[in-house]
Chains A and B, each alone.
Chain A
Amino acid sequence: MKTIADLKIGERGIIVNFTDEDLSLKLLEMGCLPGTQVTMTHIAPFGDPVAVKVSGYVLSMRKDEASTIIVA
């Protein structure tokens, strides 16, 4: 399964589902809805955290948080 954590810089994906129920609510509230396009924009110097562009703004999250978002 591909998740946001697997995206390379500039790579895009469409959010399909979440694997962590606790986190999914927070992510939904931040505008990460299934069907939304995300673009990987930044990866911090030690590979963690990462930042993605989603619904018009840049959202940062830790890698383990990004790996709960399944993309296609």
Chain B
Amino acid sequence: MKKSPKIALIGNPNAGKSSLFNSLTGLRQKTGNFPGVTMDKLIGKWKLETGDEAEILDLPGIYSIYPKSMDEQVVINILANPKHPDYPDLAIVVVDASNLKRNLLLFSQVRDLGIPTVLALNMIDVAENQGIVINSVKLSRELNVEIAEVNAKKGIGLNGLRLAVNKTLESGYNSNDTLPMNYSKELVEEIKQKYGETDDYHALLWLAEHDNLRQFDTQQRVGFDELQIKYGWKTQEAQSKETMARYAQLNEIVDNCLHEMPVEEEPINTWTDRLDKIFLHRFWGYFIFLGILFIVFQAIFTWATYPMDLIDGGVASLNDFLKSELPNSKLTDLLTDGLVSGIGGVLIFIPQIAFLFLFISMLEETGYMSRVMFIMDKLMRRFGLSGKSVVPLISGIACAVPAIMSTRSISSWKDRLITIMVTPLMSCSARLPIYTVLIALVVPEKSTLFGIFNLQGVALFALYLLGFFMALFSAWIMKLLLKVKERSYFIMELPSYKGPRFAHVALTILNSTKAFVFEAGKIIVAISIVLWVLASYGPGDAMIEAEKKVKTENPTLTGIDLENKIASQKLENSYAGVFGKTIEPAIKPLGYDWKIGIALITSFAAREVFVGTMSTIYSLGGEVDDENSTVMNRMRAEINPDTGKPMYDSALGFSLLIFYAFAMQCMSTLATTYRETKSWRYPAIQLFYMTGLAYISAFIVYQILK
């Protein structure tokens, strides 16, 4: 027996796999990545009967070993390849007792793969409520497997599970060797000859799924294709026949071991039935959904601001402290303005991410989320999305980063990819300050629509709608462009409503936040440092010259005014300023000058930098929020040197608004897209199509209004 065996948790979605994982490992778990795929992998430690530590791997829920979506594929890539680093020494198959037959299908497949298997019989209480009594001793004998009765949610029966695992690890493989279906022995022998010694079921699995298995190269795949032709193998047909044969076998066993009490013809009106009458109602269903959204956004926009202000203040005072304590040098500047500010820019997102995941995981835990998908599917499908895209799109109004992370619940890769690609078009909270400043510049404050609605408010709302419709439109275009073989399914379980397991919710928040801070954080910090360097250094001695020039030209200025003037002059002469002037010809058709060019460059990493940069350029110091009106006044007073008229007229204002509504100016989002798609291709496409869309739209708006 191995010192620290690898144990995989396998089971149907909603069978209680994750509950069991949390009960077994508690806080002793960490996230990792499966090589080359989008799903996170959860690993935990569990002390065995022998005192050894087992490594527990929580695999995504599957219904069979024949994958229908990307997350299911992860499991098969491991199980099909005995040489895979995550290939388990033992599998615990978690089975929902209230739906025994369907759950046992997967069990029988896993066991036939030759993996020593233990069956964890969960949700016995639910089954008993439905009048189902299972003789687990008899079932254990008939299936020839160790069975442990557990209550995964309450953590009951874990010692029994420990014993069963121990026994199975000692005795090893426990299958009865013959597969339930007919197949050509000759074919299997030829596969083994060509691809190495294995059991019959692995050989057949390779033959059927070779195109999607990472363990085979192109040449080997061609070899499998040839074998399929030679033996007239039809994958779909073979898999259907196998499934039927397994069910036939299981039917007999289940009938012997399961006693169904006579319950009333139609099961009693359960809580789930009653709640579904409301949540799936043609009017109340949508009404309640909107109400829940309202609460979620209240939380993200109002409650989250308190911890965000605390983090902001904390980072600022840390910065001040470091600046006052450390010697005044470039290294200190890099540490404070570059590194600490960069890390602060990452940490500031934590409250919103935590709140969003709190709500999302609560809605998922209770089973409500699948109802939302159910009532929204028809509407979303017209645009190449699916019912499952609703949640990420809505989350995108707060922040695209957690929104993209939440697309993991979408099982179809195509639907998921389109959702990831269009979610950043939803107007996120970072766009709000830009909208506020620019709208105030171009929309008269006192004017109203129909005498009741404040026109500035209408403009703001219109921008949010614009983002939403552009997301739908882009999704529709991508639907036409994307050619993916994968079939989109909406065959999914509507689980019964459950109270949320708060420990599980807390762990989800912890893991998602941690993943964000460490994965996306690395890239954000790197870009922040680069930007700091570009804005603080200039070619040659341009920076020193700039400071001298200000001092000689403004001999009367002192204190904060002088510093602001110097800062602004330095920025103009820094590399960032040089870049701003370089790109000026390109942005001229949109009505922008080099100053806006600098803002565009600095807000590439994070668009909320725009207002700060503008205030620096127009030589205003201090907190922007406190002196918002003065930023606006300075921008309002700016004169276009070519026309002699105010710079920020409605043409420029709307052009900028449209640009910021569509442009991809968020390093964190690009980093998250990279993390979720595991490819630089998709963030690159995202960057170019969104920025292209922004450029063209802003160009059209400026040219029309000019």
**Which of B64, B236, B243, B379 is A22 in contact with, Cβ under 8 Å?**
B236
Given contacts A25-B236, A28-B240, A33-B247, contact A65 B490 (CB under 8 A): yes
Q: A59-B493, A60-B374 are in contact. Are A25 and B66 (CB under 8 A)?
A: yes
Cβ B378 vs Cβ A55 within 8 A: no
A65 to B130, CA, bound (A): 28
**Closest residue of A by beta carbon distance from B63:** A29
- Contact call A30/B239, Cβ cutoff below 8 A: no
In the complex, whether B185 has a CB less than 8 A from a CB of chain A is: no
What is the bound-complex CA distance between A26 and B66, given in angstroms?
Answer: 9
Please determine whether A21 and B240 come into contact, CB atoms closer than 8 angstroms: yes
Contact B490 A55 (CB under 8 A): no
In the bound complex, how far is the Cα of B488 from the Cα of A23, in angstroms?
Answer: 11
In A29-63, which residues have CB < 8 Å from any B CB? Answer: 29-31, 33, 41-42, 44-49, 51, 55-62
Please classify the interface of chain A as helix (H, G, I), strand (E, B), loop, or mixed, using the class held by over half of its residues: mixed
B162 CB within 8 Å of chain A: no
Q: Is A16 an interface residue (CB 8 A)?
A: no
Interface status of B383 (Cβ within 8 A of chain A): no
**Interface size of B as a range:** 35 or more
CA distance A25 to B237 in the complex (A): 9
Among B189-197, B279-287, B609-617, the one that faces the other chain is B279-287
- Within the complex, the shortest CB–CB distance from B219 to chain A, in Å, comes to 28
- Of A44, A46, A65, the residue contacting B491 (CB under 8 A) is A65
CA distance in complex: A40, B370 (Å): 17
Roughly how many angstroms separate A5 CA and B281 CA in the complex, as a whole number? 19
Contact assessment for A56 and B99 in the assembled complex, using a CB-CB cutoff below 8 Å: yes
In the assembled complex, the Cα of A22 lies from the Cα of B66 at a distance in Å of 12
B63 touches A22 (CB 8 A): no
- Report, as a range, how many residues of chain A touch the other chain: 20 to 34
| B377 near A29: Cβ-Cβ < 8 Å | no
User: Does the CB pair B490–A44 fall under 8 Å?
Assistant: no
Chain B residues within 8 Å of A59, by CB? 491-494
- Chain A residues with Cβ below 8 Å from B99 are 31, 55-57
Q: How many angstroms from the CA of A29 to the CA of B236 in the assembled complex? A: 13
Please determine whether A51 and B374 come into contact, CB atoms closer than 8 angstroms.
yes
Chain A proximity mask over B67-106: 1 for CB below 8 Å, otherwise 0: 0100000000000000000000000000000110110010
**CA of A65 to CA of B489, assembled, Å:** 8
A55 CB contacts on chain B under 8 angstroms: 99, 101-102
Interface 0/1 of B624-643, CB less than 8 Å to A = 00000000000000000000
> Contacts A44-B374, A49-B374: A62 and B66 contacting too (C-beta < 8 A)?
no
Q: Is the CB of A44 within 8 A of B494?
A: no
B391 to chain A, nearest CB (A): 16
A16→B102 CA distance, assembly (Å): 18
Nearest CB to that of B286 among chain A residues?
A: A45
The answer to whether B285 touches A45, judged by C-beta atoms less than 8 angstroms apart, is yes
Q: Decide yes or no whether B487 CB sits under 8 A from chain A.
A: yes
Proximity string of chain B (251-284) to chain A, C-beta cutoff 8 Å, 1 when within and 0 when not: 0000000000000000000001100100011100
Cα A42 to Cα B487 in complex, Å, equals 24
Asked whether any CB of chain A lies closer than 8 Å to the CB of B550, the reply is no
Q: Which 4 A-B pairs have the closest CB atoms?
A: A31-B102, A45-B282, A58-B494, A29-B64
**22 pairs from A and B in contact (CB 8 Å cutoff):** A22-B487, A25-B236, A26-B68, A28-B247, A29-B102, A29-B243, A30-B102, A30-B491, A31-B99, A31-B101, A33-B244, A41-B273, A44-B375, A48-B377, A49-B374, A56-B98, A57-B98, A59-B493, A60-B492, A61-B492, A62-B490, A65-B490
Using A21-B240, A26-B68 as known contacts, list a sample of 16 further A-B pairs with CB atoms less than 8 Å apart, ordered by residue number in A.
A22-B487, A25-B236, A25-B243, A26-B491, A27-B491, A42-B374, A44-B375, A45-B281, A45-B286, A49-B387, A51-B374, A58-B493, A58-B496, A59-B493, A60-B494, A61-B492
Q: Which residues of B are interface residues toward A (Cβ below 8 A)? A: 63-64, 66, 68, 98-99, 101-102, 105, 130, 236-237, 239-240, 243-244, 247, 272-273, 276, 280-282, 285-286, 370, 374-375, 377-379, 387, 487, 489-496
